[in-house]
Structure 1
Amino acid sequence: MSQRIISLAALTVLELSPPDMIEVAARAGYSHVGLRTEPATLEEHHFPLLRDAELRRQTLARLRDTGIKVLDIEILRLKPDTRVADFAVHLAAGAEFGAGELLVAGNDPDEQRMTERFAELCDLAAPYGIHPHLEFMPWTDCKRFTDAQRVVENAGRENGCVLIDAFHFDRSGSRLEQIASLSPSRMRYAQLCDVIGPRPDDMAEILRQARQERRFPGEGDCDLVGLLRALPPSLPLSLEIPTQRLLEQGVSALQRAQMAIDHTRRVLERL
């Protein structure tokens, strides 16, 4: 098994502050973390990295002390009223942390406008050395792999990428053979988890599962070996595995992060 970057995503241990998350990642054997500069929902608890200079200082210090690197920042949304210039503060923070990747969601029913905004964001991100990744999710306006591929390719920017998350890949009905049509240069990392059971008919239930109840790799029904073989070799993996049931049972963030990476390594040994 070749060595590859394995990153701890914020959603896996969302209760932790960024410095504590970095400490947990180091103790569990990760090389990288993903940081949230913008919350995914209005309801989730958020640590305001952009507004809190002291938190930013502590985060940078913990990165230095542990040797952990930042893989990506998240999550910026392209909406009908988005002003892409407003994202500059996130990109500046991402560059300060050393992130090379940015997670982007498409929440605009006008695909042409979404494509133009994505191109504009790529242009804004380029001087920072950051690659925006459009993540398809079945409840957004960019629902499937083919939707994200079309927007990114039509945007026509070298640093524009598609983010494959194993959960969304499964729940959107995307297919492994479709991946071969995307240039490997358009994929700089992927998000890994497992999914259990058939795809629900209710989108609210899909959303609940995505944010609260995923499974560790190898515990569910996804063909993760097939997915990993379809992706570029040694692609960095971000482990995004919220497990609300374990949190409620008192399983610590360190234990959950350790379970996630241990399960992932066992899957990787099967490649």
Structure 2
Amino acid sequence: MANQFSLAYLTVLGCPPPEMTYIAARTGYDFVSFRPIHMGVPGEHDVSLTESKALLKETKKALADTGIKLLDIELARICDGTDPKRYLPAMEVAAELGGRHVLSSIWTKERSFAVERFAELCDLAKPFGLTIELEFVPIAGVSTLAGALDILRSAKRENAGLMIDVHHFHRSKEKLEDLDVVPREWFRYLHLCDAPADIPDSQEEMTRILREERLYIGEGGIDVASIVNRVPQVPYSIELPNTKRVQDLGYETFAQRCLETAKAYFNAHPHPVDVPYQI
């Protein structure tokens, strides 16, 4: 099965969804990943798909014109006091655009609250045919694989899953073998990038790198192949924010290089299911 790739929002931070879709098509991606939920990140596009009918119409046309599919939307964060119902407009947009998944992460330390709100988020997404994919982030409340699995097992929702970001997996010092106990059906896509092997001592530096200075796959020190090869072959969403390279190259050339380097890496490190059976 050929690898499939999505252009994630942070890779082209600030790029409007229609333009992002056309860029994805011209550069060879299969999917796009939008952010209709504003996060207040510097450089974020100032008009949301949930706020502008004109932008939604243009985006729908871009998807139809190109044949690019919407893989997921982000980011349905669960923080202290979060009411998951606030994400309903974004879910409606995702469903209207043919999206499949909603990315979530948990930023509260209150476990019972997190489980309750995550389960509610899954229930709200179900009528739209959407799954909720939980991502652990080393600077968040749920910062480890074990923490994410605890939430998923406690919530007990069929449309819940686990989204691995190889950067976060490395930074959280996870063990590869721990991926083997995760139910295979919980993997629906994952985030790809690279970064230096050395893990920053400060949260500030870790945050800066993950938001502004990730590297092309194969350029850094993360053993991407060993992580990817522990999970089923799923779509790979390239989330590779690098502020300087976007400024130097522009959205399209940078997106193209992200995809070219990813494909070159996987040609050199094929997933086990891609290797022909040897008698």
One-letter amino acid matched to 2:135? E
The match for 1:24 is 23
Q: Secondary structure at the match of 2:18?
A: helix
State the match for 2:153 in structure 1.
153
- Whether the 8 Å contact between 2:6 and 2:235 is mirrored in structure 1 is yes
Gap change, CA 1:66 and 1:238, over 3 Å in 2: same
Whether 1:85 aligns to 2:66 is no
What is the CA RMSD across the aligned residues, in angstroms? 1.1
Determine helix, strand or coil for the equivalent of 2:71.
Answer: strand
State the AA in 2 paired with 1:235.
V
Measured after TM superposition, the shift of residue 111 of structure 1 is: 1.0
Task: Tell me how far 1:27 sits from its aligned partner.
Answer: 0.4
- Write the distance in 2 (CA, Å) between the matches of 1:41 and 1:201: 25
Aligned twin of 2:276: none
Q: How far is the alpha carbon of 1:42 from its aligned partner?
A: 4.7
Corresponding residue of 1:253: 251
What amino acid sits opposite 1:247 in the alignment?
A: V
Q: Is the 8 A contact 1:31 1:68 kept in 2?
A: yes
CA displacement 1:209-256 (0-9 Å, x = unmatched): 000000011101011111111011x211100001112123x2111111
Aligned length: 268
Q: Distance in 2 between matches of 1:29 and 1:207?
A: 30
CA deviations on 1:152-209 (whole Å, 9 max, x unpaired) are 1110001111110011111111121111111011110000001113001100110110
Q: In the alignment, does 2:36 pair up with 1:37? A: yes
Q: Distance in 1 between matches of 2:23 and 2:182?
A: 34
Give identity over the alignment, percent. 33
Instruction: Write the mapping of 1:180-191 to structure 2, written as runs, cut at 5 A.
Output: 180-191=180-191
Change (3 A) 1:41 1:177: farther
Normalising to structure 1: TM-score of the pair? Answer: 0.96
Partner amino acid, structure 1, of 2:68: I
Q: Which runs of 4+ in 1 moved over 4 A?
A: none
Alignment match, 1:52 = 52
Say if 1:78 and 1:118, in contact at 8 Å, map to a contact too.
yes
2:204 paired residue number? 204
**Residues 14, 43 of structure 2: 8 Å contact kept:** no
| Higher mean C-alpha deviation, range 121-130 or range 33-42 | 33-42
